Amino acid sequence: MSALLEVKNLRIELDTRAGVAPVIDDLSFELQAGETLSFVGESGCGKSMTALGIMGLLPEKIGRIASGSICFDGEDITKACDERLREIRGNDISMIFQEPMTSLNPVFTIGEQIAEVLRRHQKLGKKAAWQSSVELLDAVRIPDPKRRASSYPHQLSGGQRQRVMIAIALACKPRILIADEPTTALDVTIQAQIFDLLQDLREQTGSAIIMITHDMGVVAEIAERMIVMYAGRMVEQGQVDHVLNHPRHPYTKGLIECVPHLLATLTEERLELTEVAGIVPSLAEFGQDACLFASRCNKVDQQCLQARPVEQHFDNHQVSACWHADKV
Amino acid sequence: MAKDNLTDTLLDVANLTVRFPVKSGTPFAKKQWLKAVDDVSFIIKRGETLALVGESGSGKTTTALAVARLVDTHAGSVDLNGHDFLALAGEELRTARTRLQFIFQDPYSSLNPRLTAEDIVREPLESLNASDKSNHNKIIDDLFEAVGLRPEQKKLFPHQFSGGQRQRIGIARAMATQPELIICDEPVSALDVAVQAQILNLLRKIQKERNLTYLFISHDLGVVQHMCDRIAVMYMGKIVEYADRLSLFNNPQHPYTAALISAVPSVDRERRSKFTPILIPGDTPDAINPPPGCRFSSRCPVAKPVCSESEPPLTANTDDHFVACHLVTDFGESPITFMRLSH
């Protein structure tokens, strides 16, 4: 069975003042239909760039796909023309952004903004599109959808705005939904509502979800597979359970251990949090032939500084890009 | 609040109320007030950390700002080390401010971009401390070392630092006047997870070394669980539950606290299999017209008619565990307990 989305050796370059930086460096992964895949990492590690690359929304003129392919259902969308991309976007692949306030148009009602997608992609008439948008608002559990459809974004709460974003993204029943930190700006009880909603909608529509987050708890809660990114490179990939139980890359291990997690039963004991010293390297340092995590790693040796780690594959399909993966 | 160990109590806040005028559309309309903090009382013992938790708009930051006298208080009292902090004025207030300092949420906007790191830390020393100036350089050097910044970084400007380093400058500035109480307002929520750990460890280390007392504000229950000794949960300007760390997390009694804790995604598989998230519907109601009775009644999954008739007082059930809910029994049994176990 071929994958719904197949990314091969993707390299995305961004022009910076210091020169060209590879913000995504040799990334390969597959996404099966109906699956939830999570991208994790700190800010500046290339999670959002991957998403924008897939959507064909890289910043014009300064960002480009330098090499590699993104095959959606057998078609390489890196070679597709703008018109074909517009057909795919919003219809087959759609995206929810982090900040619902800035992603909605403040001068149109939310019903109008949902209807626009349906008119454009499904060629619905004005009335039918409006009717569908009311139904969609109901599906994302906005109370009193008929009246709410005529509201403007500023009249809604943050959680409701994100629901509208989800309604827009799901309007055409896309086969892939990319969610870029969809709940970072929201409170935890609202976050729980949104995740519950996404799970339900996934079951109804069968969409595959790419969830971008920095929260390991979120990954554990909703994803089946995960990819850990660091400085534009994939450092670890595998089933969520496997990776969380036994991370094979020091960075993944650090990301899991540096957060004070809520456990089933709390005890008096409070250990020091494990620190991952330092910060993510700047764009200028991306793309070196060395392990980019070496400066923050406690297992570093000569080999790490001299050559980029080769991906090591384990029996449980876990992949780690670390020279010492078997010792982690 | 109970005043049994008066000597141990550093901060005693009683019946604190903060309100803001609300602009109405029509002129000459009756003036409306939004009670951001409504009758809030708590104490913090010396050397301990109290967390104020709650969702955005629950009044946690306003409470802290009122304690630090950065917003005006409508009613209530704030006792710092046995002295009425709200009654101070002029020179007395200036001296008293050395004992209470603030660490802000956003390390990007809370540092003056035109001052060097050294001058930022020096500012409170010069404006608040009477001690003679010749000491200041020594104090600054010590502070830089304590927060893990290198001496040569003293001459750099804020934009030359990373977010975590900036927060270290903010911490050094807060410690400069040797305060007894530091208010930490979401000190790590603007930082990346790996950097969060560095700052949290630093805060705990300097607390131990200098016997500091923290009022810690956060919406992240994982962080709160790690940092705090006692926790006050706020909802729409009121404290709904107030208890020590183990009691609150292992036996949350208020339905809101239970829902809040259950909503935190966790990597612990045992926790995920044991508890189903309690979903509470809707959003926080309009703060200008809060629902009658218990403010949580409009979203509470177990609300009864009595809940919208009268407001439940914050009462002690067992072992200093305070909760404001009509449905919690005298033995501290939560009305929502049955929902927490999925099997």
Domains defined along chain B, listed by start: 9-25+39-228 (3.40.50.300)
pLDDT band at B337 (very low <50, low <70, confident <90, very high): low
pLDDT band at A105 (very low <50, low <70, confident <90, very high): very high
Q: Is B170 in contact with B107 (CB distance < 8 Å)?
A: yes
Question: What is the average per-residue pLDDT within A151-165?
Answer: 90
Asked if the model's pLDDT at residue A108 lies above 90, the reply is yes
CA distances in angstroms from B171 to A95, A220, B10, B102, listed in the order given: 39, 33, 20, 8
Q: What is the pLDDT of residues B145-183, one digit of tens each?
A: 999 999 999 999 999 998 899 999 999 999 999 999 999
What is the per-residue pLDDT for A185?
A: 79
CB contact under 8 A, B266 and A220: yes
Q: What percent of chain A has pLDDT over 90?
A: 65
* Residue A139 φ then ψ, to 5°: -65, -30
Residues of B in contact with A187 (CB under 8 A): 55-56, 219
Residue A12 gets the label, from left (phi > 0), alpha (psi -120 to 50) or beta, of beta
CB contact under 8 A, B280 and A189: yes
CB contact under 8 A, B268 and A43: no
Closest residue of chain A to B204, computed from CA coordinates: A272
Cβ-Cβ contacts under 8 Å for B203 (sequence gap 6 or more): B171, B184, B187, B214, B227
Asked if the model's pLDDT at residue B3 lies above 60, the reply is no
CB contact under 8 A, B192 and A274: no
What gap in Å lies between CA A216 and CA A40, rounded to an integer? 8
Residue of A148, A177, A178 lying closest to A160 (CA atoms): A148
* Among A238-247, A255-264, B136-145, the least confident range: A255-264
- Which among B197, B222, B274 has the least Cβ separation from residue A275? B197
What is the per-residue pLDDT for B185?
A: 94
Asked if the model's pLDDT at residue B2 lies above 60, the reply is no
Closest residue of chain B to A269, computed from CA coordinates: B226
Residue the block writes with tokens 């004991």:
A269
What is the per-residue pLDDT for A141?
A: 85
What gap in Å lies between CA B76 and CA B180, rounded to an integer? 22
What is the per-residue pLDDT for B279?
A: 84
CB contact under 8 A, A43 and B55: no
Q: Is B336 in contact with B255 (CB distance < 8 Å)?
A: yes
pLDDT band at A37 (very low <50, low <70, confident <90, very high): very high
Is pTM beyond 0.95? Reply is no
What is the per-residue pLDDT for B10?
A: 94
What gap in Å lies between CA B136 and CA A55, rounded to an integer? 55
Q: Minimal Cα–Cα distance from A124 to chain B, Å?
A: 31
Q: What is the pLDDT of residues B274-290, one digit of tens each?
A: 777 788 888 888 888 88
Asked if the model's pLDDT at residue B5 lies above 50, the reply is no
- Which among B198, B225, B280 has the least Cβ separation from residue A260? B225
Residues of B in contact with A188 (CB under 8 A): 55, 219, 221, 260, 263-264
Q: Is A59 in contact with A65 (CB distance < 8 Å)?
A: no
Per-residue burial over A20-34, b if 16 or more Cβ lie within 10 Å, else e, is ebbbbbbbebbbeee
CB contact under 8 A, B282 and A263: no
Residues of A in contact with B201 (CB under 8 A): 272-273, 275
What is the per-residue pLDDT for A1?
A: 58
Question: Within 13 Å, how many C-alpha atoms sit on residue A240's CB side?
Answer: 23
Torsion of CA A7, A9, A14, A19, to 10 degrees: 180
Instruction: Return the beta strands (E) in B56-207 as ranges.
Output: 75-80, 83-84, 100-103, 181-185
Q: What integer best gives the mean pLDDT of chain A?
A: 91
Residue the block writes with tokens 């003679």:
B132
What is the per-residue pLDDT for B319?
A: 72
Q: Is B232 in contact with B52 (CB distance < 8 Å)?
A: yes
Q: Is A18 in contact with A284 (CB distance < 8 Å)?
A: yes
End-to-end CA distance of chain B: 38
Question: What is the average per-residue pLDDT within B8-20?
Answer: 94
pLDDT band at A166 (very low <50, low <70, confident <90, very high): very high
Asked if the model's pLDDT at residue A7 lies above 70, the reply is yes
CA angle in degrees (0–180, nearest 5) for B79-B253-A191:
95
What is the per-residue pLDDT for B341?
A: 46
Asked if the model's pLDDT at residue A10 lies above 50, the reply is yes
Q: Minimal Cα–Cα distance from B246 to chain A, Å?
A: 6
Torsion of CA A86, A91, A93, A95, to 10 degrees: 90
Asked if the model's pLDDT at residue B29 lies above 80, the reply is no
Please give the interface size between A and B, counted as residue pairs whose CB atoms are below 8 Å apart. 129
Q: Minimal Cα–Cα distance from B310 to chain A, Å?
A: 25
pLDDT band at B7 (very low <50, low <70, confident <90, very high): low
Q: Minimal Cα–Cα distance from A166 to chain B, Å?
A: 16
* Among A201-215, B163-177, B242-256, B321-335, the least confident range: B321-335
More confident residue, A279 or B52: B52
Q: Is B104 in contact with B112 (CB distance < 8 Å)?
A: no
What is the per-residue pLDDT for B100?
A: 93
Mutate to test the interface with B, among A189, A239, A246 (most CBs of B within 10 A): A189
pLDDT band at B6 (very low <50, low <70, confident <90, very high): very low
Going by the DSSP 8-state scheme, the letter that residue B329 receives in this structure is -
Q: What integer best gives the mean pLDDT of chain B?
A: 88
- Which among B193, B249, B279 has the least Cβ separation from residue A214? B193
Q: Is B51 in contact with B232 (CB distance < 8 Å)?
A: yes
What gap in Å lies between CA A314 and CA A316, rounded to an integer? 6
Question: What is the average per-residue pLDDT within B247-274?
Answer: 87
Closest residue of chain A to B188, computed from CA coordinates: A259
**Residue B20 bridge partners (DSSP):** B34
